[in-house]
Structure 1
Amino acid sequence: MIVTTTPSIEGKRIVAYHGIVSGEAILGANVFRDLLASVRDFLGGRSGAYERVLRDSRNAAIEDMVSEAQRLGANAIVGVDLDYGAVGQGESMLMVTAAGTAVTVS
Structure 2
Amino acid sequence: MLLTTTSVIEGQPVREYLGVVTGETIIGANVFKDFLAGMRDFFGGRSGSYEKVLREAKDTSLREMEERARNIGANAIVGIDIDYETIGEGNSMIMVSCSGTAVRI
Fold conserved between structures, TM > 0.5 = yes
1:38-74 Cα shifts (integer Å, max 9, x gaps) = 1111111100000001100000000000000000000
1:59 maps to what in 2? 59
2:11 maps to what in 1? 11
TM-score, with normalisation over the residues of structure 1?
Answer: 0.97
- Partner Cα distance (1:37, 1:91) in 2: 13
2:100 is matched by which residue type in structure 1?
G
- Using the TM superposition, give the Cα deviation of residue 22 of structure 1 relative to its aligned residue in structure 2, in angstroms: 0.2
1:38 maps to what in 2? 38
Paired positions, count = 105
Identity value in percent: 53
- Partner Cα distance (1:38, 1:91) in 2: 14
1:91 maps to what in 2? 91
- Partner Cα distance (1:92, 1:15) in 2: 43
**SS of alignment partner, residue 15 of structure 2:** strand
- Using the TM superposition, give the Cα deviation of residue 89 of structure 1 relative to its aligned residue in structure 2, in angstroms: 1.5
Can you give the 5+ residue segments of structure 1 that lack an aligned partner in the other structure? none
2:72 maps to what in 1? 72
1:49-106 Cα shifts (integer Å, max 9, x gaps) = 000011000000000000000000000000000000011112110000010000000x
TM-score, with normalisation over the residues of structure 2?
Answer: 0.98
Q: Does residue 1:27 correspond to 2:27, yes or no?
A: yes
1:43 is matched by which residue type in structure 2?
F
